[in-house]
C-alpha cells in the first residue's frame, strides 16, 4: 500500500478536532507486512479453515492460490497504472484519530466520504480500510451463495470456485493490513504530536518493522502457535471489523517502544519477535474467521437480485 498525505489548511481542522494539530505528516509510501508477511497471513488462514467449508477451499491448490494473492493489491501500485494506484491507495489504511474526529463511522463507504468532503477533507488523507475490507468480504459471501446454487443445480462449480479463491485472497490483504498497528494511526511512519518518551520521528520505522524484520525473523510455526481457535463472527461484520482495527490500534505505542530499544534491527529481541508473530497471527485468525463466516452466512436466503440501475 502507499499513501501520499499533503498537509493543508483543511486538514488542520480535523487534526485540531482530534487533538493532533501539532503533528507533521510526511508524504511517504508504506506497504503493510511486505510480501512475506501477507503471504504468511493468507497461507495460515487458508490452512486452518474449519472442516465444514467446501473441500475445494481446503485443498492444497486453494491454499497456494490464496497465499499467492496475499500481496496482490500491493502489485497494483505501479506508476504504470497511475489511476488504479491513486484510487486504491487509501483502501490499505485508516487513521483512526482523524476518522473518529468526524463522528461515528457509517457502514457505507459513500456515507463516510460524504462526511469527509463536508468537513473539507479528502478520503485519501484519512483512509478507507474498513469499507474496502467489508465490501470484499461481501463479494466473497455473494460468490459462496452462488456456489451453493450452482452445486444444488448439479452444474459445474469450477468457475465460481475460482472467483471464491480470488475474493478470499484479495480480502486477506486488507485483513493483514488491519493487523499492522501502523496502518490504523496518524503515527504511521514516525511519532507525531507530543513525544515525552522520545520515540523516533524519522520515516523509517514502518518499512523496517513490517518488511525486512518480518522476512528475516518470523516464520509460520511461531505465528501458527499464536492463532486463536476458529470461530463464527457474530453480529454485523462491519462493526466486528472496526472493533478488530481498534484492537490493533492499542498496540501502536508498543511498536515505538520496541523500535526505541532496537527491537526491529537484525534479529531484534525475543519480545519483539513474539510481538510481531502475535500481530501476524491476529491477521491470520481474523481472515480465517471472516472466510468461514462468509461461508456460513451464504446459506441464508436473500431477496431476488437488485433490479435498479
DSSP calls for 99-152: HHTT-SPPSSHHHHHHHHHHTT--GGGTB-HHHHHHHHHHHHHHHHHHHHHHHH
Bridge partners of 190?
Answer: 188
pLDDT more than 90, % of the chain: 86
Nearest-CA neighbor of 276 among 231, 185, 209?
A: 209
Q: What is the pLDDT of residues 161-211, one digit of tens each?
A: 999 999 999 999 999 999 999 999 999 999 999 999 999 999 999 999 999
What CA–CA distance (Å, rounded) separates 267 from 279?
17
- Contacts for 193 with CB less than 8 Å, ≥ 6 apart: 19, 20, 22, 23, 186, 187
C-alpha closest to that of 264 among 309, 199, 308, 220: 199
181-194 per-position pLDDT tens digit: 999 999 999 999 99
Does domain 32-93+126-297 match CATH 1.10.575? yes
What mean pLDDT comes out for the span 237-244? 98
| 3-state SS class at 173 | helix
Averaged pLDDT score across all residues of the chain: 91
* pLDDT, position 302: 85
158-178 and 237-249 are packed helices; what angle lies between their axes, rounded to 10 degrees?
Answer: 40
Go through the chain and tell me how many residues it has.
309
Q: Is the pLDDT at 283 greater than 70, yes or no?
A: yes
Report field, pTM of the whole predicted structure over 0.85: yes
Q: Which spans in the chain are helix H?
A: 9-17, 34-47, 60-68, 82-88, 96-100, 109-118, 129-152, 158-178, 205-210, 212-217, 220-224, 237-249, 252-260, 270-297
Domain boundaries, the chain: 32-93+126-297
- What CA–CA distance (Å, rounded) separates 71 from 31? 9
58: pLDDT strictly greater than 90 = yes
Lowest model confidence (mean pLDDT) among 46-55, 251-260, 266-275, 297-306: 297-306
- Half-sphere CA count of 277, side-chain side, radius 13 A: 20
pLDDT value at position 11? Answer: 42
Helix, coil or strand: residue 210: helix
What is the reported pLDDT for 15? 46
Torsion angles phi and psi, residue 97, rounded to 5 = -60, -40
Q: How far is it, in rounded angstroms, from Cα 84 to Cα 102?
A: 27
Q: What pLDDT is stored for residue 197 in this prediction? A: 98
Residue 29, strand partner residues:
2
Residue 307's pLDDT band (boundaries 50, 70, 90)?
low
**Do residues 224 and 44 lie in contact, with contact meaning Cβ atoms separated by under 8 Å?**
yes
Instruction: Using CB atoms within 10 Å of the CB of residue 86, give its burial: 0 to 12 exposed, 13 to 18 middle, 19+ buried.
Output: middle
Helix, strand or coil, per DSSP, at residue 188: strand
Query: Using 50, 70 and 90 to split pLDDT, how confident is the model at 305?
Result: low
How far apart are the C-alpha atoms of 144 and 52, rounded to whole Å?
Answer: 13
Residue 14 has pLDDT above 50, yes or no: no
pLDDT of 132 strictly over 80: yes
Amino acid at each position: 500500500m502507499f499513501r501520499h498525505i499533503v498537509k493543508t489548511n483543511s486538514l488542520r481542522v480535523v487534526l485540531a478536532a482530534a487533538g493532533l494539530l501539532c503533528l507533521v505528516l510526511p508524504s511517504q509510501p508504506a506497504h503493510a507486512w511486505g510480501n512475506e508477511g501477507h503471504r504468511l497471513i493468507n497461507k495460515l488462514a487458508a490452512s486452518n479453515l474449519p472442516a465444514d467449508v467446501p473441500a475445494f477451499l481446503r485443498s492444497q491448490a486453494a491454499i497456494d492460490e490464496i497465499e499467492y494473492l496475499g500481496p496482490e493489491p500491493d502489485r497494483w501500485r505501479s506508476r504504470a497504472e497511475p489511476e488504479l494506484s491513486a484510487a486504491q491507495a487509501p483502501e490499505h489504511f485508516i487513521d483512526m484519530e482523524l476518522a473518529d474526529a468526524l463522528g461515528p463511522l457509517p457502514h457505507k463507504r459513500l456515507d463516510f466520504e460524504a462526511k469527509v468532503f463536508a468537513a473539507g477533507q479528502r478520503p485519501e488523507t484519512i483512509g478507507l480500510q474498513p469499507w474496502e475490507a467489508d465490501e470484499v468480504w461481501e463479494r466473497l459471501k455473494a460468490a459462496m451463495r452462488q456456489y451453493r446454487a450452482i452445486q444444488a443445480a448439479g452444474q459445474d462449480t469450477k468457475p465460481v470456485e475460482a472467483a471464491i479463491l480470488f475474493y478470499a485472497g484479495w480480502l486477506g490483504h486488507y485483513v493483514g493490513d488491519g493487523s499492522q498497528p501502523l496502518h490504523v494511526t496518524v503515527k504511521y511512519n514516525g511519532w507525531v504530536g507530543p513525544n515525552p518518551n522520545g520515540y523516533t520521528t524519522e520515516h523509517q520505522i514502518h518499512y523496517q518493522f513490517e518488511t525486512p524484520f518480518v522476512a528475516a525473523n518470523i516464520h509460520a510455526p511461531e505465528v501458527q502457535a499464536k492463532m486463536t481457535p476458529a470461530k463464527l463472527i457474530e453480529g454485523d461484520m462491519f462493526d466486528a471489523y472496526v472493533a478488530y482495527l481498534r484492537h490493533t490500534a492499542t498496540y501502536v505505542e508498543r511498536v515505538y517502544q520496541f523500535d526505541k530499544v532496537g527491537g526491529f534491527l537484525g534479529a531484534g529481541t525475543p519480545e519483539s519477535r513474539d510481538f510481531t508473530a502475535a500481530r501476524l497471527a491476529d491477521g491470520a485468525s481474523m481472515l480465517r474467521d471472516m472466510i468461514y463466516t462468509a461461508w456460513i452466512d451464504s446459506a441464508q436466503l436473500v431477496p431476488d437480485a437488485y433490479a435498479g440501475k
